[in-house]
Structure 1
Amino acid sequence: MCKTHVQKPYVLVIPAHFQRPLPARRTPVVLRCRGSSWIMSYCGHTTLKNLDAGWADFAIHDRLQVEDACVFELLSRDAEDVSKGEVVLEVQVLRGGGLPEPEDLATKGDTTDEPIVILD
C-alpha cells in the first residue's frame, strides 16, 4: 500500500490486469476480510478504475499502513456472475515490508494456473 491508499484521499486504483474480468460500469462490490464485509462500488466507468469511498472505511478499520499489502481474490464464480453485478473480493492483509515488488506480481494471480504464492 502507498500513502494515497491508506490516508486521505484513500484512492485505490485497480491495476489494468485485474480490471479485465470486471464490468466497464459502476458495480457493487463486497470486500470480505477476516469474517467482516464492506460494501462499496467498483468505478469501472471512469478513466482510473477504482473502489469508491467504501475503501476508506476498509482501510481505516483494518489499520492499513504504507508498506502493507492486500491480496485480492475475485470470488465471483464466472464472467456471467460479474456481468450481473455479483462481485465479491476476498482480501488478505499482509503487514509490513519485505514483500515482492508490485511489478514482480503483475503477471500472476489472474487465474488459479498462475497463483501468487505467499510463504511465511
Structure 2
Amino acid sequence: MAVDALAALATGWVYDRVGPRVLIVLPVLSAAVPALAFTDSLAPVVLGSLVWGAATGVQESTVRAVVADLVAPGRRATAYGVFAAVVGVAAFAGGALTGALYDVSIPVLITVVAAIQAAAVLLLAVTGISLRHT
C-alpha cells in the first residue's frame, strides 16, 4: 500500500506536467510483475510485489485522472461506472487467464502477459496520436 500511494503521487505529479504519456509506465510495470513474482527466489518475489503495488497506484489514480480529462463533467459518473465495470471484467479475465497459464507453464504465462502489455503500449501510442489530432 505504501508503494501504491507513492506511485499514485509520483505519476499524478508527472501527469500534471506531461499528460497521459505518463501512462506508458503502466504496461511496463504490469509486464514485469509475473517475470519477478513467479520465481523461486525471495528478492525478485518481493520486488514483483512492490512493482505490482506501483502498477496498482498508477491505475487507481492517474488512469482515473485521464477519464476525468476525457469526459465532460455531466457524464463523468457514467464514465467512471463504465471504467470500473471494464476494469472488473478485465481483472476477472486476466486472473482466469493467469491461473490457467500458471498450470501450463510459467514461461508461457510471462510471455503472454508481456505480449498483452506490448499490445497495450501500441494502443496507448495510437490513442495518444489520435488525441493529439483532435
- Structure-1-length-normalised TM-score: 0.31
Point out the structure with the larger strand share.
1
Point out the structure with the larger helix share.
2
- Structure-2-length-normalised TM-score: 0.29
Structure number with the bigger relative contact order (C-alpha 8 A, sep ≥ 6) is 2
Select the structure of larger CA radius of gyration.
Answer: 2
